């Protein structure tokens, strides 16, 4: 399977074949298999309904771009559970190219990746709604939980719960800057529009990371009603890669110099934080600056309850 289009033609990276794919299927079950060394995306589910993926092990090449683990595209009523994914690019990646994506549940998975462990987008022409990610372990990844909306689709009613995260820097040629949580919406290019992201819940999240949380809406796509409950962040440096960068890619502003903060916020209306603890390494080379970084002109309706931030000795 090289291309999904009718002619079979492919372009650029797409010419590398996917390892396993299902196109326009119902009642698919994939279980108890090990998939190794895909040349491109590993397990690709396209315009399917009622798909179950469980007890699947995926081991890709950690240095190969576009080496995704599981891509769920324009598909509804999907369950992914008890999967072990170690791959170079995004591990679990819902996308919307030709239709919406509803009712995706991901539970009890272990993930390591050089890109995003979980990423909505960046292909996002249609809506996402009703997604649950629960009881997931993310280790030594470039980015933990990501929403990367670039094409005008809207995201709503998504829950991330009971997740342990470890994120670190890799070479900046890979998208990501060690963010444990990354929520962004902006136009991909001058022909695109910003989608909306609303009603997102993060609850019972523990993270040890080399960088902070990045929450960035845009003028045409303000982030609304984000909730963070029972969060525990530990920030420290352990690699030698350059910090002090914000990563908007793809599109938008690219890589931008910016001081490191616990949470960077832009273009938000409605943020609730309850029971959040930030611990900062006392290593001066870490260059930590402040827990919350935002401009009041673009961020409104913030509610902080039981928020703690302080340094610790390594």
The tens digit of pLDDT for each residue in 136-175 reads 999 999 999 999 999 999 999 999 999 999 999 999 989 9
With contact defined as beta carbons under 8 Å apart, do 122 and 155 qualify?
no
pTM confidence score: 0.94
Residues of the chain with pLDDT under 70: 1-10, 12-14, 284-287, 289, 314
- DSSP per-residue string spanning 218-254: BTTB-EEEEEEEEEEEEE---S-S---EEE--SSTT-
Exposure string of 94-111, with b = 16+ CB inside 10 Å and e = fewer, is bbbbeeebbebbbbebbb
* CA gap 182, 219 in Å, rounded: 18
The CA dihedral of 243, 145, 4, 76, to the nearest 10 degrees, is -170
* CA gap 304, 209 in Å, rounded: 22
The tens digit of pLDDT for each residue in 281-302 reads 877 655 676 899 998 899 999 9
CATH superfamily, domain 101-312, is: Single-stranded right-handed beta-helix, Pectin lyase-like (2.160.20.10)
* CA gap 244, 257 in Å, rounded: 6
* CA gap 266, 292 in Å, rounded: 11
Give the pLDDT score at 52.
Answer: 98
Q: Which pair of structure tokens corresponds to residue 266?
A: 């832009």
């Amino acid at each position: 399977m090289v291309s999904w289009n009718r002619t079979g033609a492919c372009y650029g990276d797409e010419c590398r074949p996917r390892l396993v794919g299902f196109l326009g299927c119902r009642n698919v079950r994939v279980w108890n298999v090990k998939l190794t060394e895909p040349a491109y995306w590993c397990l690709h589910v396209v315009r399917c309904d009622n798909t179950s993926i469980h007890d699947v092990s995926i081991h890709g090449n950690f240095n190969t771009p576009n080496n995704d683990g599981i891509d769920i595209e324009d598909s509804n009523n999907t369950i992914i559970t008890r999967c072990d994914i170690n791959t170079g690019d995004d591990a679990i990646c819902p996308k919307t190219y030709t239709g919406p994506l509803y009712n995706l549940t991901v539970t009890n998975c272990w993930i390591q990746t050089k890109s995003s462990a979980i990423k909505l987008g960046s292909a996002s022409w249609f809506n996402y709604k009703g997604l649950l990610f629960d009881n997931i372990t993310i280790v030594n990844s470039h980015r933990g939980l990501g929403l990367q909306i670039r094409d005008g689709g809207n995201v709503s009613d998504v829950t991330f719960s009971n997740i342990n995260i470890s994120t670190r820097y890799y070479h900046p040629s890979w998208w990501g800057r060690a963010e444990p949580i990354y929520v962004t919406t902006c136009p991909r290019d001058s022909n695109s529009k910003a989608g909306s992201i609303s009603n997102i819940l993060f609850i019972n999240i523990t993270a040890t990371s080399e960088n902070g949380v990045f929450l960035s809406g845009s003028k045409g796509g303000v982030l609304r009603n984000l909730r963070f409950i029972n969060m525990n962040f530990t920030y420290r440096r352990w690699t030698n890669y350059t910090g002090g960068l914000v990563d908007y890619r793809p599109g938008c502003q690219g890589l931008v110099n910016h001081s490191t903060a616990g949470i960077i916020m832009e273009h938000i209306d409605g943020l609730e934080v309850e029971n959040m603890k930030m611990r900062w390494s006392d290593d001066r080379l870490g260059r930590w600056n402040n827990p919350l970084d935002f401009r009041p002109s673009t961020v409104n309706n913030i509610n902080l309850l039981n928020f703690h931030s302080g340094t610790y000795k390594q």
